[in-house]
Structure 1
Amino acid sequence: MINGDSYNSEVILHFADLPTNPERETVKNLCLVQPNDSILIAQQRIRFFREEVQKTHLKPIIIGQPKIDLDADVKYHPEISVTFQQSLISLPKGKYPKTARISWRLMEETSESFTFTKMDAVATLVFQNFFQNNRFSFNKGKFISWYISPLDGLNLQIYCLDETEAERVAKYVVQAIGKTWQDKIFKITKPKRSNEIIYEPITILGKQKDAPVWRPNITVNAYKASINVWGAGNQEYDLIGRLRNGQFFPIARTH
């Protein structure tokens, strides 16, 4: 079963995206797993959160290779990922928020050398740089920037509003993880295609839907973070942690 503290921290973070009001607070409390809940009640709360609040059954299908199969083919260094998400308050009803992802690898570590103590240190760094106080955010758009430095574990590809924003975000990530910025390896391209054209609705399987928007200009905020460790099976470790009595506890383990 999902770890209660890890799940509850995810619920709290989800509802922190909008101002508190009585109705929203009631829904949040329905989702939170309580200490005295039975397994059946806890499962019902989790199912309600996933299906009625997050609507995970409506998420897009991701086509790729299962982690357990990839682990059998390729051995890799631990990878940290910070996922960003569009603010729910900026979306029309029924629209699903767009996301972004920034990741890097711990080149000085392997699965054999990595420990939970080291994971706690990584979680603290991620929390302090991307979640503490105001969550880190950036303006996403059609510009594509690259910052590739294999020795530093960086293979950044970031979609941003313009060149200035792209450089700001890349520099922030490089400096946040304690690496030295190198101007010469930062590259950026500006596609000629417009991302501001509003297309007519389309009909799919007899139902009218909005046409997909190509690389829209949106703002995304740090939403969650995890670490992918080779050989750990179909599992990533949550790095968000939890807040207790105003103190940050850096890791909520899901193993």
Structure 2
Amino acid sequence: MSIRDWAAIRRALINGDSYNSEVSAHFADTTDPKRNAVKDICLVQSNDSILIAQQRIRFFREEIQKTHLKPTIIGQPKIDFDADVKYHPQVSIEFRQTLTSIPRGKYPKDARISWRLMNETSESLTFAKMNDVAALVYQQFFSNRFSFKKGKVIGWYLSPSDGLALQIYCLDAAEAERVAKYVVQAIGKTWNNSIFKTTNPMYSSYYSYPHNYQNKQYLKFD
């Protein structure tokens, strides 16, 4: 690769809606000096060599996002797996951050929990069945308002046969398990503890200091 080619790639990584933008968005919700220092390590700089830039990207992907820990292996060809799951009707619930937990000058965060109706297709789903699903959602999530605290810890619950591919960002592992277990049981499925996993990105502990609770800096969703 020529020096000119690398310079063009480096500019693309730094500018616009590219790698550095993704890094900045990941660390946008913090003013902690230690996390800001980690952010600076991840950002590609204008004088970085190819090797240094590769190390920064690898550090962000593996140590911060923990991408190498995310499950990617399934028991059949991926193209068949996707066809079996993704084309079933999907139920999605949108959450918005509680107003009292939004720091001054910040916008409310949002979150989503979804699952697929594996016993239905676009042809078999009727208005009557949709009304039944709507009634279940209202009963389980709205009649007694369901809420959770969002953070950097990710709870994973992958059960394709149940239409579940939960990826839940919560304050800690216990909260992630509580939310995942509630969703599984709320839609009439059986909880399998061996399926549930958590990913705890580096420095996520800065989101759970006691003063965060006192200042309501955690994200509570209703």
Task: Report the TM-score range of the alignment, normalised by the length of the smaller protein.
Answer: 0.5 to 0.7
Aligned-pair Cα RMSD in Å: 2.1
Unaligned runs of 5+ in 2: 1-82, 208-216
- 2:136 maps to 125
Runs of 4+ in structure 1 deviating by more than 2 angstroms, as ranges, are: 89-95, 193-197
- 1:182 maps to 192
- 1:217 maps to 218
Summarize the alignment of residues 32-181 of structure 1 with structure 2, pairs less than 5 Å apart: 76-92=87-103, 94-133=105-144, 135-181=145-191
Q: Indicate the percent of aligned positions where both proteins have the same amino acid.
A: 66
Between Structure 1 and Structure 2, which shows a larger proportion of helix residues? 2
**Number of residue pairs matched by the alignment:** 130
* Superposed displacement of residue 145, structure 1: 1.0
* Superposed displacement of residue 88, structure 1: 1.9
- 2:8 maps to none
- 1:10 maps to none
* Superposed displacement of residue 87, structure 1: 1.2
Q: 189, 193, 199: which one pairs with 2:203?
A: 193
| Contact 1:142/1:217 (<8 A) preserved | no
Unaligned runs of 5+ in 1: 1-73, 198-215, 222-255
Structure with bigger gyration radius: 2
Between Structure 1 and Structure 2, which shows a larger proportion of strand residues? 1
Question: What SS is found at the alignment partner of 1:184?
Answer: coil
Amino acid at match of 1:102: I
1:91-146 Cα distance to aligned partner (Å, 9 max, x none): 3555321011000000000000000000000000000000003x100011111110
Q: TM-score, normalised by structure 1?
A: 0.48
* Superposed displacement of residue 217, structure 1: 3.0
Question: What SS is found at the alignment partner of 2:194?
Answer: helix
Higher relative contact order (CA 8 A, sep 6+): 1
